[in-house]
Amino acid sequence: MANKKIRILTSEGITTGWEGPGSLSVEAPATFTSTATMSGDTLITGKTTVQGIQTHTNASGKYVNGLNVVVKEVTWSSGDTIDSGAIYVPAGSVLTKLTAVVTAALGFASGAVNVKCGDEADDNTYATAANLVGSGTSLIAGKGMSTATELTTALAGAASLVLVADKPYISAAGEVHMTATGAAGDFTGGTIAFIVEFVYTGGN
């Protein structure tokens, strides 16, 4: 008997998904030409190939088992600070690396720009303030700093961030914020990508 296709096309007035008894098993190649939303558990036991950009949205209760890398790219809007906003971490996490990279030229009042990391905006619980740049009025895209000293050197940062002793293990679910501050006054423009890496030890 020839293979038959199952088609669910909104153009044919079909707007609902599978409503048959039990589960829907697909034992042949499947192509999704529009957005597919899966709200329940999804088990994939074979090879998975992704040909586009794969994104995981960090939010409260939404994590990856093992290594998580969260990037918040923030453009200055006003004042002397640029804050990453909340990066959510679950209970039982270990902060492993913090990085800040200028992605659009940064302008600021003559002086230093410092970066720190804590559990809320402008806090330094996880890493005390260190110089992204020690003096000047501007910083070109590509300059940055990290807790990884070799990366700070490669990004030509003035100093490395240092994780505070006894703080990288996060025992209760919460937030991580990275904050850049103009020591001499307001920024005048620019964008910074804040990158927080942590390992979630639970869920396995």
Q: pTM score, two decimals? A: 0.83
Q: For residue 144, is it within any domain?
A: yes
Categorise residue 85: left if φ over 0, alpha if ψ from -120 to 50, beta otherwise.
Answer: left
For residues 89 and 63, give the distance between their C-alpha atoms in angstroms, rounded to a whole number. 8
Task: Give the CATH number of the domain where residue 147 resides.
Answer: 2.60.120
- Which structural domain, as residue segments, surrounds residue 156? 66-200
Q: For residue 22, is it within any domain?
A: no
Read off φ and ψ for residue 84, nearest 5 degrees: -65, -25
For residues 143 and 132, give the distance between their C-alpha atoms in angstroms, rounded to a whole number. 8
pLDDT in tens, 154-196: 999 999 999 999 999 999 999 999 999 999 999 999 999 999 9
For residues 30 and 20, give the distance between their C-alpha atoms in angstroms, rounded to a whole number. 18
Q: For residue 51, is it within any domain?
A: no
| 201 pLDDT more than 70 | yes
The predicted structure's pLDDT at residue 14 = 56
Query: What's the mean per-residue pLDDT of the chain?
Result: 88
| 84 pLDDT more than 60 | yes
| SS3 assignment, position 151 | helix
Q: For residue 70, is it within any domain?
A: yes
Cα distances (angstroms) measured from residue 182 to each of 43, 103, 138, 179: 48, 17, 11, 10
Domain count of the chain? 1
How much is the average pLDDT of 107-131?
97
Reported as a pLDDT band with limits 50, 70 and 90, residue 104 is very high
User: In b/e form, how buried is each residue of 110-125, taking b as 16+ CB within 10 angstroms?
Assistant: eebbbbbbbbeeebbb
Q: For residue 127, is it within any domain?
A: yes
Q: For residue 175, is it within any domain?
A: yes
Q: For residue 34, is it within any domain?
A: no
| 22 pLDDT more than 60 | no
The predicted structure's pLDDT at residue 55 = 78
Q: For residue 46, is it within any domain?
A: no
Residues in the chain: 204
